[in-house]
C-alpha cells in the first residue's frame, strides 16, 4: 500500500465524519469521544490559524465568563484523560457520553468556519440544534426546523435520540 498524503483539514473532516457516524450508531463511546476530540482539536487549531480569535471554543469560553484555563479544563477533561497518562497513570474517569455531543458541536461549528460542511456534519448540526434548543427558542428558526425534522429530542431517551440521528443521516447523506 502506498503512503497517504493528507492535509490537516482533510484529516479533521474524516475524523469528524467518522465520529458522527459512530455516535449515531451508538458505537463505543470512549472511541467515539477520542476521535471526536482529535477532530475538534485539529479544527480549532485550523480556525485559530486562519482566523485568530474566532474559534467557537473562544466564543463559548467568553460567553460563559470562564478563564481560558477553566474552560478547557472542563471542555477537554475527558479528551485529555483519554490521551494522556503521564500525570495520573492510575487515574479513573467518570465519563458522560453526552460530553461527546458538546465536543462534536464545537467541532462542527469550527468546521463550518473552514468551508462547506459534509453531509454528516450537516445532519449533526441540525440534530444538535434540535437536542440543545432552549425551550423558549423552540418556535424560532432554525430550531423549529430542526425539531420538525427530528422530533422533540428533549423528550426522547438517548437511544431514541441517536436513532433519530441515524435516520437523518441515512435520509440526508445516504449513509
pLDDT of residue 62: 79
Model pLDDT for residues 37-78, shown as the tens digit of each residue: 999 999 999 999 999 998 888 888 878 887 777 766 676 777
- Burial code of 116-153, b = ≥16 C-beta within 10 A, e = fewer? ebbebbbbbbbbbbbbebeeeeeeeeebeebbebbeeb
pLDDT of residue 124: 96
pLDDT of residue 18: 98
Sign of CA dihedral 128, 131, 134, 138: positive
pLDDT of residue 73: 67
CA dihedral 129, 173, 39, 95 (to 10 degrees): 60
Distance of CA 46 to the CA centre of its chain: 16
CA distance linking residue 86 with residue 128, whole number of Å: 34
pLDDT of residue 57: 84
pLDDT of residue 71: 67
3-state DSSP call for residue 27? coil
Q: What parts of the chain have a pLDDT lower than 50?
A: none
pLDDT of residue 89: 87
CA distance linking residue 126 with residue 145, whole number of Å: 8
Amino acid at each position: 500500500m502506498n503512503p497517504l498524503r493528507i492535509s490537516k483539514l482533510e484529516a479533521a473532516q474524516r475524523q469528524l465524519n467518522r465520529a458522527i457516524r459512530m455516535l449515531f450508531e451508538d458505537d463505543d463511546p470512549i472511541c467515539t469521544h477520542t476521535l471526536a476530540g482529535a477532530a475538534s482539536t485539529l479544527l480549532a487549531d485550523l480556525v485559530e490559524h486562519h482566523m485568530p480569535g474566532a474559534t467557537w471554543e473562544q466564543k463559548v469560553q467568553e460567553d460563559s465568563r470562564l478563564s481560558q484555563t477553566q474552560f478547557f479544563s472542563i471542555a477537554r477533561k475527558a479528551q485529555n484523560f483519554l490521551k494522556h497518562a503521564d500525570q495520573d497513570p492510575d487515574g479513573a474517569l467518570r465519563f458522560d457520553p453526552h460530553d461527546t455531543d458538546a465536543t462534536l458541536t464545537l467541532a462542527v461549528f469550527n468546521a463550518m468556519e473552514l468551508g462547506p460542511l459534509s453531509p454528516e456534519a450537516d445532519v449533526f448540526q441540525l440534530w444538535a440544534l434540535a437536542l440543545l434548543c432552549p425551550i423558549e427558542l423552540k418556535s424560532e428558526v432554525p430550531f423549529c426546523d430542526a425539531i420538525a425534522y427530528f422530533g422533540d429530542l428533549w423528550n426522547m431517551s438517548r437511544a431514541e435520540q441517536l436513532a433519530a440521528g441515524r435516520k437523518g443521516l441515512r435520509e440526508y447523506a445516504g449513509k
